[in-house]
């Protein structure tokens, strides 16, 4: 069906930067929206950033001014540029897409496998 391939996670010192990528492949029709979530151990999964098909973006208050979400529609890819990283940003980051399937007129959502981001003090 549809698979989301995440990359870009890793270990970085506080104040550093990382760029996460999420590329969708498979039976892709049209992507309505894309988003990034994160989850730390023992914590609920939270929305980090989202972007609509029209380019409208939203960010969690904790990452405003530091993170930037963008998308490359031609390559079905969403990015998350993370600057001035803090230890509090340490979590597993997941991407999510919403697909609209013309046949049946239904919307489906898919999750990436997650990529670990660790920020040291």
* Per-residue confidence (pLDDT) for residue 95, from 0 to 100: 97
Low-confidence residues of the chain, pLDDT below 70?
A: none
- Give phi and psi for 27, each to the nearest 5: -80, 80
7 and 19 in contact (C-beta within 8 Å)? Answer: no
pLDDT in tens, 47-81: 999 999 889 999 999 999 999 999 998 899 999 99
Q: List, in sequence order, every beta strand (DSSP E) within 1-121.
A: 2-7, 10-13, 18-26, 30-39, 46-52, 57-59, 67-72, 77-82, 91-101, 106-111, 115-120
DSSP 8: -
| Token duo for residue 1 | 């069906």
């Amino acid at each position: 069906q549809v698979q989301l391939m995440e990359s870009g996670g890793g270990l970085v010192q506080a104040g550093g930067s990382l760029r996460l990528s999420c590329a969708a492949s498979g039976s892709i029709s049209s992507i309505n929206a894309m988003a990034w979530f994160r989850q730390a151990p023992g914590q609920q999964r939270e929305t980090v950033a989202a972007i609509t098909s029209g380019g409208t973006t939203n960010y969690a208050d904790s990452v405003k001014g530091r993170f930037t979400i963008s998308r490359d529609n031609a390559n079905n890819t969403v990015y998350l540029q993370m600057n001035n990283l803090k230890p509090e940003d340490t979590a597993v980051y997941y991407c999510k897409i919403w697909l609209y399937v013309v046949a049946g007129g239904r919307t489906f959502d898919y999750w990436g496998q997650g990529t670990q981001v660790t920020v040291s003090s």
